């Protein structure tokens, strides 16, 4: 029999992220657990293409980086996003799943300045 698979698989989703998104962190990596992409009525998942950057809408290329999803990612100073596409065994790619931002902040705040108190003279 021949299986005709013309439908893209389902995108994966982040189940948990540590540290969480939005809250500033000084961590350089994020630990991730995933709900994997799926292709239940098709040919099965072949792998994923993903990228981490500072743009909320980047599209990853169509080259499989891994058969599984990353357990951790490195993040740079500022806002960081992960973008993931899923490929099935028939060559169908998903649109793209975007998740973030993680806000990395390693810059110490400026020290406050104090104006000296003056005593009025009579």
Of the candidate ranges 7-11, 97-101, 110-114, the one whose mean pLDDT is the lowest? 110-114
Nearest by Cα to 98 from 60, 69, 67: 60
Q: pLDDT digit string (tens) for 76-102?
A: 999 999 999 999 999 999 999 999 999
Which residues face 17 on adjacent strands? 32
pTM for the model stands at 0.85
Quick check: 102 and 30 in contact, CB under 8 A?
yes
């Amino acid at each position: 029999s021949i299986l005709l698979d013309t439908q893209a698989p389902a995108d994966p989703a982040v189940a948990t992220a540590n540290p969480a998104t939005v809250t500033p962190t000084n961590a350089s990596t994020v630990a991730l657990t995933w709900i994997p992409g799926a292709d239940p009525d098709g040919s099965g998942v072949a792998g994923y293409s993903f990228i981490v950057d500072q743009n909320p809408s980047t599209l990853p290329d169509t080259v499989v980086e891994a058969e599984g999803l990353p357990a951790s990612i490195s993040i740079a100073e500022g806002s960081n996003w992960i973008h993931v596409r899923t490929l099935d065994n028939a060559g169908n790619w998903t649109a793209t799943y975007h998740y973030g931002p993680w806000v990395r902040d390693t810059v110490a705040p400026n020290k406050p300045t104090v104006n000296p108190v003056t005593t009025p003279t009579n």
